[in-house]
A = this chain, B = another copy of it.
């Protein structure tokens, strides 16, 4: 049957590959909010069978990027201003908790990872690499991961992804006002390395609130 002769960049399983690709398409808006996601159409687009597509859509349902409608299939999750504001609210709440716990557990190895991820993000940002998104998320997650609270981390990751989506929808790409986010990131990093939880959370939350207001203003479309 499918001989799996993937000569180049492959995926372990067809399901996982479909999941990754669909997720990317929804995050970037290639599959716009509310759009009906027909199995046949996606099966052709991803060049795979119906079962992996179905299962990928199921997985995306749990990420809240896809909605299942009773017995009428799937569709890309809709967006709304209130949804965006809820995401922002929860992010501020949960990431503050996580960041404080992370700093409370501070240790050398964690700080090293932090510095490294920050460096990678800066490098990717300067040369406008396409993996800036990944590097950016990796940095933000690194800030939180030392909390060693897996559930909390998972929620933060989910909310981060939901937020990415609004960035793309508002700005059409990751070029969201390249104002001074570099400086903001630097402030957060420095405060975290100083083990100054109050300062770090203040900077982090301001970082979110500011981009939140920017996106909110753009949301009259």
Contact = CB atoms under 8 A, between A and B. Distances in A.
Interface residues of A, number: 28
Number of copies: 2
A149 interface: yes
Given A13-B71, A55-B58, A71-B13, A150 B97 contact: no
Contact of A86 (B58, B62, B151): B151
A150 B62 contact: no
A106 interface: no
Contacts of A70: 12
20 contacts: A12-B71, A13-B71, A54-B55, A55-B58, A58-B59, A59-B61, A61-B62, A62-B62, A62-B63, A64-B151, A64-B154, A83-B150, A83-B151, A90-B149, A90-B151, A90-B155, A93-B94, A93-B97, A151-B159, A155-B155
Q: Which 6 A-B pairs have the closest CB atoms?
A: A62-B62, A58-B58, A86-B149, A86-B151, A55-B58, A58-B59
Interface string A50-74: 0100110011011110000011000
Interface of A: 12-13, 51, 54-55, 58-59, 61-64, 70-71, 83, 86-87, 89-90, 93-94, 97, 149-152, 154-155, 159
